[in-house]
Amino acid sequence: MRTTSLSSFLFTTLFVTASAPAADDDGKLRIICFGAHPDDCELQAGGVGALWSARGHHVKLVSVTNGDIGHWRDAGGPLARRRKAEAAKADEILGVTSEVLDIHDGELLPTLENRRTITRLIREWKADIVMSPRPNDYHPDHRYTGVLVQDAAYMVTVPFFCPDVPYLTHNPVFLYYPDQFEKPNPFMPDVAVSIDSVIEKKLDALDALESQFYEGGANGSAELLPSDPAKQQERHRAVRDGFAHRYQSQAQRFRAKLADFYGSDKAAGIKYAEGFEVCEYGRHPSQDELKKLFPFFGE
C-alpha cells in the first residue's frame, strides 16, 4: 500500500485527480479540529475558527474526551455535562459546530475503535483541513489525540477502512497546534493568522469555559473563587487579560511567519495571532494552497 507515497513522489499526474482543496457542494471550506478536552480546540483555533465561520466556511470543534476529571471539585458525568454545555456556548459564540465525545478524560488510548471514530468524523465532515495537537505534549490525552489523528490521516482515503462511511477522494491538510516543547522537535509554524478582528469573540468564548479558566480546572482550588461580586469581576478580568497576553506572545513568536503571509509591514502591526504546523502525514500544501485554505491574508 505504497501508492500514495508513490503517487506523491512520481506519478502525481497519473494517480491524483483533484489537487485543489475539495470544497463541499456550497463551495465553502470545511475544517475539523480535534482537541483532547472541551477547551483545547477553543484555545488553539478559536480565532481562526471565528474567522472562517464569519466568511461562511464550515468549522467543527471536536473534544475527544468528555473532560470528566478536569476540575478540582467536580468530576464524572455531572462535570462532563457541564463542560459539554460550556463548549456548546463557547462554540456558539465562535459560530462553529460543537461535538464532545463520551470518552473518559485521562483515559484516552490509541485504540482501533478510537481510530475509526476519528476517521468517520473527518470523512463525515468532508474535511479540507484537520487540526490536532502534536503527539508530543505534556498531557497524555493530548499526545494520544495527536497519535489518533495521525493514525487516521491516511486511512480517511482508503475506501474499505470503515466501508460504512464514504471515503475522501483527496487527502486533507493536517495541521498541528502550537506547544512549547522542544523535543524531539520544537513546533515550527507553517502558517500564522492574525486574529485581531475576532479577539473579543475569542476571549468571550474562553470566558464561557468557566469551569476551566475562571474556576481553574483540575489545578484550580476554592481560593480562586471570590464570593464578593467586585472581586469576581476582577477575577474574570484577570483571566481575560491572561489570555490576551497569551495570544500577543504568540503574535510575537510567529512574527516571521506572519510576515510571509501578510507582508512585513502588515505583520508588524498584528497584535494577536494563531499559528499552525503542517503534519507530514497528510497533504503537503504549497504556500498558494495555504492561502486558499486560510483566505484571510488579502483582506
Task: Report the alpha-carbon distance of residue 282 to residue 199 in Å, rounded.
Answer: 30
Phi-psi domain of 226 (left: phi exceeds 0; alpha: psi -120 through 50; beta: other): beta
Contacts of 264 (CB under 8 A, 6+ apart): none
Measured from the CB atom, is 58 or 83 closer to a copy of itself?
A: 83
Task: Report the alpha-carbon distance of residue 296 to residue 298 in Å, rounded.
Answer: 6
# of chain residues touching a copy of itself (CB under 8 A): 94
Of 49, 70, 275, 285, the residue at the interface with a copy of itself (CB under 8 A) is 70
Task: Report the alpha-carbon distance of residue 214 to residue 277 in Å, rounded.
Answer: 30
Binding mask 28-57 for a copy of itself (x = CB under 8 A): --------xx-xx--x--------------
Of 48, 62, 90, 162, the residue at the interface with a copy of itself (CB under 8 A) is 162
Measured from the CB atom, is 167 or 296 closer to a copy of itself?
A: 167
Helix (H, G, I), strand (E, B) or coil at 53: helix
Cell readout for 160 is 474499505
Q: How far is the CB of 21 from a copy of itself (least distance, A)?
A: 18
Binding window for a copy of itself (CB under 8 A); candidates: 62-70, 192-200, 268-276, 285-293: 62-70
Please give the residues from 192 up to 221 whose contact with a copy of itself meets the rule CB under 8 A.
212-213, 216-221
* Amino acid letter, 114: N
**Phi and psi torsions of 175, nearest 5°:** -125, 145
Cell 483571566 belongs to 239
Measured from the CB atom, is 219 or 286 closer to a copy of itself?
A: 219
Measured from the CB atom, is 147 or 290 closer to a copy of itself?
A: 147
Q: How far is the CB of 51 from a copy of itself (least distance, A)?
A: 21
Binding window for a copy of itself (CB under 8 A); candidates: 51-59, 76-84, 89-97, 291-299: 76-84
Measured from the CB atom, is 182 or 265 closer to a copy of itself?
A: 182
Binding mask 121-140 for a copy of itself (x = CB under 8 A): -----------------xxx
Max Cα-Cα span within the chain? 69
Binding mask 86-125 for a copy of itself (x = CB under 8 A): --------------x-x-xxxx-x-xxx-xx---------
Binding window for a copy of itself (CB under 8 A); candidates: 19-27, 51-59, 74-82, 287-295: 74-82
Total count of residues recorded for the chain: 299
Cell 483527496 belongs to 170
User: Do residues 44 and 131 lie in contact, with contact meaning Cβ atoms separated by under 8 Å?
Assistant: yes
> Across the chain, how many H-helices and E-strands are there?
11, 7
User: Do residues 204 and 93 lie in contact, with contact meaning Cβ atoms separated by under 8 Å?
Assistant: yes
Binding mask 251-270 for a copy of itself (x = CB under 8 A): --------------------
Contacts of 59 (CB under 8 A, 6+ apart): 31, 32, 33, 49, 52, 53, 94, 95, 96, 97
Note whether 166 binds a copy of itself by CB under 8 A: no
